[in-house]
């Protein structure tokens, strides 16, 4: 496969014309695996052009590792393969995951073949043997002798079918063939998903988002024994998901009847295990917020995973930032029932208000973004400024800011918008969930000032908003600037200019551009807010705690 573009059964001595112009590496043993799949007639089951006859063998050999053929590595289109085996550590993790709940399954990690210099044991076996076979006569002769040593005439009949001695070794039952094992391509059994509304929480009360997600996941496990696993980096309890332990336990190596929780302090290892397990989608729940740094430092402030997920194919990516526990329940229920997606859910471990009833939650989650009428000031028809929030903590800050504006700037008309599905902000050509131009302008208008307070890095949000005509001319974005260290939440917000005071000031700045009544007193109100922010920061450093009432549910009057 590596070398030949003609004369595949060596019916005459090799010539330079029989050799491919570009010789690529053996791809971690891909030719050996593909050859076995062709012999057992598994390739043609999925790829008819590789039928078990001369034409199919010719297509397999001559198109290997060139445009239109199989790549040089095992990949997702290889029947029977569940991992590309590019690195041994990941491959072993995936094999462990594939054996979970399937102890009789035998898994193989293929080894590599010999090279053209040393028969075995050389690092060169990972590369192309005889790399000059297209131009060097000696290399060509060595290749000819090497390939003929396998005696292809004694292995294949005239039509390229295997001889009887080989034929009788091939299983007659498809499920026993390496490339058609049920476990490799149709092992998934749909989950029974609980109606999250049975666990919905009363509006306005303060609840921990992850506590209720834990209850929901516990019920999901009870409904799906041997079908549902949770992979956690040694932090199930600290992430407030301990309600799951009421329904199951940890899966320990020595316990034959272990539970459904796999905790290991190695994200790479449990990611591999997850990929080996038959799952409908990859579902990630993140709970750490850069604001909460009471006992951690910069190592727990990296928000790049959001960007890493958004950089994947738009059709397969979803990023959710639910504003409260009801929305979190709805989102988790949706994700575990979704098919062929990478879902990232940003949750919270802190007590926060329930802003939406379960009826309002359903509507909000369907559209992905909507106006928070209870936190908007005036009629929402002609706002002076639009304040946009995403996620639990950020939503709380925005609503706290609108509460402050009720006291400091009565003439300012505000529209509060909450985003739960981050991908709706894309341009309509960039993501299937993106709002069309009319929907987008209904939320953010075409020219009024818009201020975003973002959970992550501002530049990533700028990338999502790119493509909306003229938008960035009237948009400002606040987000994480990698400021601060081990400190209290409010101080972290002040350090990164994302506190309720900063948001209120940004709203007054924006409103003063379009509303003369706001402009008149803008400097007075902004100065008062900055003074108040300094007082809060002084209090934090003196008393080592946030001021009392900081996280009380904001009031509007």
Instruction: Say yes or no: domain 196-543 is CATH 3.40.50.920.
Output: yes
Mean pLDDT of 193-210: 92
- What is the predicted pLDDT for the residue at 111? 46
Instruction: Say yes or no: domain 16-185 is CATH 3.40.50.970.
Output: yes
- What is the predicted pLDDT for the residue at 365? 96
At residue 298 the predicted structure's pLDDT band, cuts being 50, 70 and 90, is low
- What is the predicted pLDDT for the residue at 114? 37
More confident: 16 or 90: 16
- What is the predicted pLDDT for the residue at 8? 94
More confident: 118 or 460: 460
- What is the predicted pLDDT for the residue at 126? 66
d(Cα 153, Cα 158) in Å, to the nearest integer?
8
- Work out the mean pLDDT of the chain and round it to a whole number: 87
State both tokens at 152: 């292809």
What proportion of the chain, given as a percentage, has pLDDT over 90? 48
Residue 198 pLDDT greater than 90, yes or no = yes
d(Cα 316, Cα 313) in Å, to the nearest integer?
6
- What is the predicted pLDDT for the residue at 167? 87
- What is the predicted pLDDT for the residue at 112? 42
Lowest mean per-residue pLDDT among 160-164, 450-454, 479-483: 479-483
Residue keyed to tokens 């509460």: 403
d(Cα 522, Cα 513) in Å, to the nearest integer?
10
Note the helical H segments in 368-436. Answer: 392-408
User: Of all helices (H) and strands (E), which one includes residue 231?
Assistant: strand 230-232
Q: Where exactly are the structural domains of the chain?
A: 16-185, 196-543
d(Cα 288, Cα 233) in Å, to the nearest integer?
13
- What is the predicted pLDDT for the residue at 267? 83
- What is the predicted pLDDT for the residue at 287? 83
Q: Taking the model in full, what pTM does it have?
A: 0.86
| CATH topology agreement for domains 16-185 and 196-543 | yes
Lowest mean per-residue pLDDT among 292-306, 307-321, 420-434: 292-306
- Tell me the per-residue pLDDT of 360-414, one tens digit each, with 9 for 90 and over: 999 999 999 999 988 888 766 788 999 999 989 889 999 999 998 888 788 899 9
Alpha carbon separation from 366 to 291, 389, 420, 429 (Å, rounded) = 28, 17, 10, 20
d(Cα 235, Cα 242) in Å, to the nearest integer?
10
Residue 19 pLDDT greater than 90, yes or no = yes
């Amino acid at each position: 496969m590596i070398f030949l573009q003609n004369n595949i059964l060596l019916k005459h001595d090799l010539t330079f014309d029989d050799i491919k112009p570009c010789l690529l590496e053996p791809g971690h043993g891909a030719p050996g695996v593909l050859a076995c799949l062709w012999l057992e007639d598994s390739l043609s089951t999925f790829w008819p052009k590789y039928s078990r006859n001369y034409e199919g063998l010719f297509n397999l050999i001559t198109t290997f590792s060139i445009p239109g053929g199989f790549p040089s590595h095992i990949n997702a289109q290889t029947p029977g393969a569940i991992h590309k085996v590019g690195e041994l550590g990941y491959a072993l993790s995936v094999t462990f995951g594939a054996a979970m709940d399937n102890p009789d399954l035998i898994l193989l990690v293929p080894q590599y073949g010999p090279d053209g210099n040393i028969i075995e044991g050389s690092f060169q076996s990972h590369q192309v043997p005889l790399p000059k076979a297209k131009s060097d006569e000696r290399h060509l002769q060595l290749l000819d002798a090497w390939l003929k040593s396998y005696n292809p005439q004694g292995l294949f009949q005239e039509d390229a079918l295997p001889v009887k001695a080989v034929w009788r070794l091939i299983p007659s039952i498809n499920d026993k063939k390496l490339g058609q094992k049920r476990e490799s391509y149709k092992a998934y059994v749909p989950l029974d998903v609980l109606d999250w509304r049975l666990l919905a929480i009363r509006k306005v009360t303060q609840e921990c988002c992850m506590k209720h997600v834990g209850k929901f996941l516990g019920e999901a496990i009870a409904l799906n024994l041997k079908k549902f696993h949770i992979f956690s980096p040694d932090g199930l309890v600290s992430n407030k998901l301990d309600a799951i332990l009421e329904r199951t336990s940890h899966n320990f190596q020595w316990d034959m009847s272990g539970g459904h929780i796999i905790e290991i302090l190695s994200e790479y290892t449990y990611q591999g295990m997850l990929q080996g397990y038959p799952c409908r989608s990859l579902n990630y729940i993140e709970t750490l917020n850069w604001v909460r740094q009471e006992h951690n430092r910069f190592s727990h402030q990296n928000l790049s995973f959001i960007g890493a997920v958004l950089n994947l194919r738009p059709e397969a990516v979803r990023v959710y930032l639910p504003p409260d526990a009801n929305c979190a329940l709805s989102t988790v229920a949706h994700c575990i029932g979704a098919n062929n997606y990478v879902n990232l859910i940003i949750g919270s471990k802190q007590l926060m208000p329930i802003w939406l009833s379960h009826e309002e939650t359903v509507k909000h989650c369907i559209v992905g973004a909507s106006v928070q009428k209870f936190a908007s000031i005036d009629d929402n028809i002609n706002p002076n400024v639009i304040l946009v929030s995403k996620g639990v903590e950020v939503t709380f800050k925005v609503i706290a800011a609108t509460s402050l504006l009720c006291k400091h700037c009565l003439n300012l008309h505000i529209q509060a918008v909450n985003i739960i599905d981050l991908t709706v902000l894309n341009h309509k050509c960039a993501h299937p969930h993106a709002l069309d131009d009319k929907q987008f302008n209904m939320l953010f208008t075409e020219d009024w000032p818009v201020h975003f307070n973002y959970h992550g890095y501002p530049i990533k949000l700028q990338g999502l908003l790119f493509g909306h005509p003229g938008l960035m001319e009237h948009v400002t974005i606040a987000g994480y600037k990698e400021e601060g260290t081990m400190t209290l939440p409010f101080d972290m917000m002040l350090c990164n200019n994302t506190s309720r005071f900063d948001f209120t000031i940004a709203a007054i700045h924006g409103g003063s551009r379009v509303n003369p009544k706001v402009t008149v007193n803008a400097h007075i109100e902004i100065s008062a807010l900055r003074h108040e922010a300094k007082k809060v920061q002084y209090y934090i450093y003196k008393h080592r705690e946030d001021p009392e009432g900081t996280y009380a549910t904001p009031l509007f009057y």
